[in-house]
Amino acid sequence: MEKIAFDDIAAIEKFISEDYGSFGKTLEVSQQMINDFAELTGDRQWIHLDVERCKKESPFGTTIAHGFLTLSLLPTLGAGADDPFALTGFGNVTNYGADGLRFLSPVPAGSNVHSRKRLKGVEAAKRGTRLLQEVAVHVVDQERPALIYDMITLFQPQS
């Protein structure tokens, strides 16, 4: 893994790619996780919670995870364990926002998910360096991602 100073834009740009890295670890999205997320957020739609109704009425035949639950698993999934570079010399890194978020396919209860990412862009910013990375979360063995998230992170200098 190549170590690059967080503010060396030219060196980071070399890693911009159309290709994703490999998948990170796998995690099961259990019905209990879905229930807990519904309780925490107040999003109690039957398609997430009512197993029997889903067997009869849902096009998926089972309950599915909330899209935002799937998104919130990104830190746990840890995409990028095989990153080709690591940024150094920064004081902190923060979630700066998103350039896009799409929920493309369902995550059925009990399925396993994993994620991978690619670097789409980097730019110098007034308060540091912004990276734009595209993260894809997939149900294991499904080609179509469950979600695509264009994540912006801000690397700031030490104070």
Please tell me the pTM assigned to this model: 0.90
- In the predicted model, is pLDDT for residue 149 greater than 70? yes
Fold of 2-157: Thiol Ester Dehydrase; Chain A (3.10.129)
Residue 81: predicted pLDDT: 62
Residue 5: predicted pLDDT: 94
Q: Which residues contact 11 (CB under 8 A, 6 or more apart)?
A: 4, 5
Q: What is the pLDDT of residues 105-127, one digit of tens each?
A: 999 999 999 999 999 999 999 99
Query: What is the 3-class SS of the chain, one letter each residue?
Result: CEEEECCCHHHHHCCECCCCCCCCCCEEECHHHHHHHHHHHCCCCHHHHCHHHHHHHCCCCCCECCHHHHHHCHHHHCCCCCCCEEEECEEEEEEEEEEEEEECCCCECCEEEEEEEEEEEEEEECCEEEEEEEEEEEECCCCCCCEEEEEEEEEEECC
